[in-house]
Amino acid sequence: MTKLLKTILVAGVLAAFGLPAAAQWPVYPTPNVPHKADGAPDLSAPTPRAADGHPDLTGLWEIYFQSIATAPRNGQPGPSRSQQSPGDGGQLGLTPSTPPTDPKAPPRATFFDIGANIPGGAPYQPWARELRAKRMAANNKDNPDAHCLPMGLMQLHGHPQPRKIVQTPRLIVIMYEGNQGLRQIFTDGRKLPKLDDDLQPWWYGYSVGHWEGDTLVVETVGFRDDVWLDVQGSPLTSKGKMTERWRRTDFGHLEIDVTIDDPTAYTRPFTVRVSHQLTVDQELIEFVCNENEKSSQHYDK
Amino acid sequence: MKAYWMFTAVGLGALLAQGAVSAHHSFAAEFDRSQKVTITGSVTKVEWENPHARFYVDAKDEGSGEIVNWDFELASPNGLMRRGWTRNSMKIGDVVTVEGFRAKNAPHVGNASTVTLASGKKLFAGSSAETEAPPGGAAPPSN
ipTM for the complex shown: 0.78
Mean pLDDT, chain A, integer: 83
Q: What sign does the dihedral A58-A60-A64-A66 (CA atoms) show?
A: negative
Instruction: With residue B4 as reference, give the H or E element that holds it.
Output: helix B2-16
CB contact under 8 A, A295 and B51: yes
Average pLDDT for residues B58-73, to the nearest whole number?
Answer: 94
> Rounded CA gap, A68 and A36, in Å?
12
CB contact under 8 A, A77 and B29: no
Q: Which segment of A167-171, A195-199, A269-273, B64-68 scores lowest on mean pLDDT?
A: A195-199
What pTM value is reported for the model? 0.80
CB contact under 8 A, A83 and B79: yes
pLDDT tens-place string over residues B12-47: 333 333 333 456 788 888 899 899 999 999 999 999
Nearest to A19 among B19, B49, B86 (CB): B86
How far, rounded to the nearest angstrom, does the alpha carbon of residue A145 sit from its chain's CA centroid?
15
B residues 34-93 lying closer than 8 A (beta carbon) to A: 47, 49-52, 54, 71, 73, 76-79, 81-84, 86, 88
Most confident of A5-9, A39-43, A190-194: A190-194
Average pLDDT for residues B95-110, to the nearest whole number?
Answer: 94
> Rounded CA gap, A281 and A141, in Å?
35
Most confident of A64-73, A254-263, A280-289: A254-263
Structural domains in chain B, CATH included, are 2-131 (2.40.50.140)
CB contact under 8 A, B26 and A301: no
Res B9: pLDDT? 33
Residues 6+ apart with CB under 8 A from A136: A232, A233
CB contact under 8 A, A299 and B142: no
Average pLDDT for residues A241-249, to the nearest whole number?
Answer: 98
> Rounded CA gap, A131 and A161, in Å?
28
Residue B60 scores a pLDDT above 80: yes
Question: Any CB–CB contact under 8 A between B118 and chain A?
Answer: no
Average pLDDT for residues A5-13, to the nearest whole number?
Answer: 44
Question: Any CB–CB contact under 8 A between B142 and chain A?
Answer: yes
A300 confidence band (pLDDT: 50, 70, 90):
confident
Ranges of each domain in chain A? 34-282
The SS3 of residue B29 is helix
Find chain B residues with C-beta within 8 A of A289's C-beta: 24, 50-51
CB contact under 8 A, B13 and A83: no
